[in-house]
Structure 1
């Protein structure tokens, strides 16, 4: 195995940890439904999972992806440019929005302040669900590798995912949250 093959393995494994962890969180929030106690427990636990798995996975995915583009001489292909933009948005959303809000949920729950925990939790759900739709689009782009002349494929996938994202964002509001 050459360095490019090993780097590709690292990229896929780290993307699996990052995106798989995020998708699992979204699925769990949907399965749990409006059960506030279970949602609060899940979000409190995800604060630690985010720091231990999702953040390192995101960083390693971005770094290894950048190296793969450079080593593979992919250049400014459409799928590379769009995927990079979406991945950076996802990483910033996770680090600047979701992580801190999950931390607020955990801290409020530990302090026994359910109202503050609910308020922070309610703002997490739309961001996390929308982020995962973007991550699924990145995976679609990575697999299909559309060129600049084939962006209709990516646009179609984006529209389908946006529709699914709207359904997911509107579904599952927690009772008692403002």
Structure 2
């Protein structure tokens, strides 16, 4: 286990840019588990990852479909599978989604504790936001996990912890 990043991200735009940078290190078979309260920026980070992987979008919260696959736009690209495990009751229910972990980059929101034994290596991404910061964006596609936006766009603390051998030689800028 190693901390690849521990720092503050100043805005939603910064969170999306961080996702794009993170995507430059990702490849098929990579798994990311995002943890944070409602409105922390999990979907915004995933939107940046999708942009960095150049997948078909828009990347929005998969709350009501549980999992959404975004195919690559270019030849040789990697699909992004975006999962919302919030409404799942167990790891078995996650397994029932029949996710292609080996040939995709998989991002699981609310997935802590659901992925034991799924992967040898993964990234835990924790996003903390100030308590009571901002209000959900009225135009967000999913008000239950809407990202906080201006004028109350508060900085977030993001910690990326790597587990397993896949990440031993990786550093994040």
Q: TM-score, normalised by structure 2?
A: 0.26
Higher RCO structure, 1 or 2 (CA under 8 Å, sep 6+): 2
The structure where strand makes up a greater share of residues is 2
Q: TM-score, normalised by structure 1?
A: 0.26
The structure where helix makes up a greater share of residues is 1
